[in-house]
Amino acid sequence: MITSLTGGRWVCPLPEKTGENARFRVSTDSRVLEPGDVFVALRGEKFDGHDFLKQAEANGAVLVIIDREEAAETLIAKGGTGVLIVKNAVTALGQLAKGYRETLNGLRVVAVTGSNGKTTTKRLIHAGLSVKMRGSASPKSFNNHIGVPLTVLAAEDDDEYLVAEIGSNAKGEIRELAEIVQPEIAVITTIGISHVAGLGSLRGVCEEKLDLLRVMGRGGKAVLNTEAPLLQEVMKEDPVLRGYLPGGDEVS
């Protein structure tokens, strides 16, 4: 399953008695790994997870996912830890999360986006649902292409709900993240000037946030201020979004 989802190639196979379809805890932080976890080595401007492969192995990682093959030479020589190389570790993280989400048939996802108030709204929803249901919410402000997949991968098989915070700095990011979480309920808090530089205009911000509803499609539930003039204008232009306006097919 891991290779089919990520398109990766085994450099060193998983240890014996560990199957590809086993349930793994996934982390991008080698310091918090526990025996049996999967470590995804991400790279950024000021860090490289490949520098911590030895620490990941020492902490008991059963598998490391990398996109720099030469970095795994010491692990390959020792054996005992599976090594999977992929084209891009961040992309692979998202692919793993999307694949795992598709197995969680009993999970209902509430996705929260907006220019302001996402984290507070997420916490309030989680606090209310947790009174009578089993589930979880994005930790801190885990709302980007790394945090959202980690949020999904942390969900338990028997969870009933997940409240996922979804952010965006550029066009297309909300669609990509929404396709990972596959929400049944979408919440848009506000449409404001946050990230307008990356999205071009206030309308661009509005279009980006509404991608959450577009991915959800017909049959979902949405919580948003349909009286906001710009939001209403954009929604009227889209046959799917029109259904979420007062009097529309999706309104109950």
| pLDDT reading at 144 higher than 60 | yes
Measured distance CA(183)–CA(110) in Å, rounded: 6
pLDDT at 251 over 70: no
**pLDDT on residue 79:** 67
Nearest partner of 13 among 98, 67, 80, 68, judged by Cα: 80
pLDDT band at 17 (very low <50, low <70, confident <90, very high): low
Rounded Cα distance, 224 and 226, in Å = 6
Residue 23 pLDDT exceeds 90: no
For 29, residues 6+ apart whose C-beta sits below 8 A from its C-beta are none
Instruction: Give, in order, the Cα–Cα distances in Å from 142 to each of 79, 192, 202, 208, 246.
Output: 33, 20, 24, 18, 32
d(CA 69, CA 81): 14
pLDDT in tens, 157-190: 999 999 999 999 999 999 999 999 999 999 999 9
Task: Write down the pLDDT at residue 21.
Answer: 59
Residue 196 has what pLDDT?
A: 87
150, 144 Cβ separation under 8 angstroms: no
Mean pLDDT of 97-102: 96
Among 117-121, 192-196, 226-230, the minimum mean pLDDT is found in: 192-196
Mean pLDDT computed over 214-235: 93
- 37-74 pLDDT, tens per residue? 999 999 988 999 999 999 999 999 999 999 998 887 76
Neighbours of 209 (CB within 10 A): 25
Q: How does residue 250 score in pLDDT terms, banded at 50, 70 and 90?
A: low
Distances (CA, A) of 242 to 89, 209, 234: 38, 15, 9
Predicted TM-score (pTM) of this structure:
0.92
If 0-12 CB within 10 Å is exposed, 13-18 middle and 19+ buried, where does residue 145 land? middle
The pLDDT value recorded for residue 19 is 62
Q: Do residues 158 and 106 make contact, with C-beta atoms less than 8 angstroms apart? A: yes
The Cα 90–Cα 85 span in angstroms is: 12
Q: β-pairing, 38-40 with 26-27?
A: parallel
List of domains in the chain = 2-96 (3.40.1390.10), 104-242 (3.40.1190.10)
End-to-end CA distance of the chain: 39
- pLDDT interval class at 78 (50, 70, 90): low
Token output for 18: 């560990």
Retrieve residue 29's tokens: 């932080």
Q: pLDDT band at 8, cuts 50/70/90?
A: very high
The answer to whether 37 touches 61, Cβ cutoff 8 Å, is: yes
Rg from Cα positions in the chain = 20
Q: From the centroid of its chain, how far is CA 227?
A: 30
Please identify which residue in the block is written with the tokens 């929604």: 235
For residue 55, the model assigns a pLDDT of 94
CA distance linking residue 117 with residue 29, whole number of Å: 27
